[in-house]
Each structure stands twice: as C-alpha cells, then as structure tokens.
Amino acid sequence: MAILEIKGVTQRFKGLIALHDIDIQVQEGEILGIIGPNGAGKTTLFNIISGFLKPTQGAISFQGEGLVGLRPDVIARKGVVRSFQGAGLFPTTSCLGNLILAHHLYKNTGFWETMLHTSSYGTREKEVREKSLSILKRLGLDDKKDMAVKDIPYGYQKMLGIAMALATDARILLLDEPVAGMNPSEAQAMTEEIRRIRKELKKTIVLVEHNMKMVMGVCDRVVVIQYGVKIAEGSPEFIKNDPQVIEAYLGTEER
C-alpha cells in the first residue's frame, strides 16, 4: 500500500526545468533510495515533499491527503519529516536540548500552558525529556547528552539529525545524504541504524544519497533521476545492471 504518492510533479525555475513529470509511489514500511548526479533534482524533490517549495504542477499525497500548499511544520505534524542537517538547530545547545527543541517545533504546545507552567505543561515536559533521553540512548548518544552539538564528532552530529527527526514521531523519514562525509565505519553504523529504525520502529524511509554501497545495501527499491527526469526504478540489483543507469550515473564504478 502506497503511503506517499508523487504524481506528475514538475518544477520550473524561470527557464530551467528542475523536475519534469515525476511519478513515485512510496510503499509503507519500505526504504526507498533516490539517486542521480549532482543537479539531478533530488534536493528539489525533497524540498517539494517537505513543503519548502510548491511545485509548478503535480500532486503529492500522504495517506491519501494532499500536501501541496501546506507549510513545512504542518506537513511534519502530519507525519512526514525531513532529517535535520549539519550541526542541528542550535550548535551551542546540548544534544538533549536539541531533541527537546525538535519535539516542541513539531508539537502543538498551548501558549498559556507554556507561559504559566501549568501542571499539564510540567507533565508534558517530563515526558518529552524522558522520550528524548530514550532516543539518545537508542542511537548511542546518551553519553553525549550534555555536550554542545558543535563539540561532538561529525558522525555523531549526523546521527543526532536522525534522532531529532525521530523525536517528532514521524511516519516517513526523509533522509538527505545520511552518510555524506562519514568514514566507512561511521557509514556502516548509520546504515545499520537505518535498518533498525525501519524494522523496530516501523518507519517508512526515503533517502537521497551518493554512497552507492550504502544505497544498494539498505534500500528495497531505487529511483534514478537525471536532469530532472526519472530514468529508472527498481530493485538495487536491477538498477546496478541497467545500461541507461550505468551510462548516466554509475559509470565504471565498482558495482
């Protein structure tokens, strides 16, 4: 069953066509990879799905409900969340603080509850803190909970970005280059965690990534975009052996 549907999405920037008539169905519970050369339109597509861009034409629906035209925070509250990048929202704030902030960004907290610190607000704050600590422990970040984000290694910053997305209770995680800049051991750890998140937390995951070893090893299906056009879609094995994909993107790299 498709949980996210992208139908006929086209994006034009003045005379440039960044995406042309893109159709993708994301099945519930799968890990879908989107690959393509730099400038192919992958980030533009993520920006459209998450509400940061409105497509020139086309439709996007989540569980049958249209998303086009909704604000990013509204889309996130519905359950489609893009991973946080780089040093997170506040690089000088602790890892735990960032998770708590991520939770509040995507949850409705009453104004007067917050200002007056009502009993319900206090209960909610305790629950948020406990949940945040649980997520940090799950991802191996519990010993860094009090460290400022800027002071932890890059690989842990990327993992924190995943943790912050999990703090929002998303059903679909949009992961933008989750292993970019990581060394092989960090990339392997992230790959294993993505598998666990799907299996144990029942999340649907869509990822954009240039690391072909990671994509082919973790994804159920792969979509290939070139110059804004979808040129192939299928299993990792199919994609690895598709002549058009090899010519357009994979080239002579070891497959």
27-36, 69-78, 155-164 — most confident range: 27-36
- The mean pLDDT of 103-125, rounded to a whole number, is 59
- The mean pLDDT of 91-104, rounded to a whole number, is 87
> Is CATH 3.40.50.300 what the domain over 2-79+170-250 is classified as, yes or no?
yes
pLDDT for residue 24 is more than 90: yes
> According to DSSP H, which parts of 110-252 are helical?
111-116, 119-138, 154-166, 184-201, 212-218, 236-240, 243-245
Confidence bin at 249 (pLDDT 50/70/90): low
Residues in Cβ contact with 45 at an 8 Å cutoff, skipping those fewer than 6 apart? 6, 9, 19, 22, 34, 225
Q: Which of 116-120, 123-127, 186-190, 196-200 has the lowest mean pLDDT?
A: 116-120
Q: CA torsion 228→41→239→178, rounded to 10°? A: -170
Tell me how far apart the alpha carbons of residues 154 and 4 are, in angstroms, rounded to a whole number: 31
pLDDT for residue 112 is more than 50: no
Q: Where are the domains of the chain?
A: 2-79+170-250
- The mean pLDDT of 94-117, rounded to a whole number, is 68
51-60, 104-113, 242-251 — most confident range: 51-60
Q: Which of 2-6, 82-86, 202-206 has the lowest mean pLDDT?
A: 82-86
- The mean pLDDT of 7-23, rounded to a whole number, is 95
Strand order in the sheet with 172-176: 80-82, 172-176, 204-208, 31-35, 221-226, 229-234
- The mean pLDDT of 35-42, rounded to a whole number, is 89
74-83, 125-134, 160-169, 229-238 — most confident range: 229-238
Tell me how far apart the alpha carbons of residues 192 and 189 are, in angstroms, rounded to a whole number: 5
Whole-number pLDDT of residue 244: 84
What are 131-166's pLDDT values in tens digits?
A: 999 999 988 899 999 999 999 988 888 889 899 888
Q: What percent of the chain has pLDDT over 90?
A: 56
| 32 against 100, higher pLDDT | 32
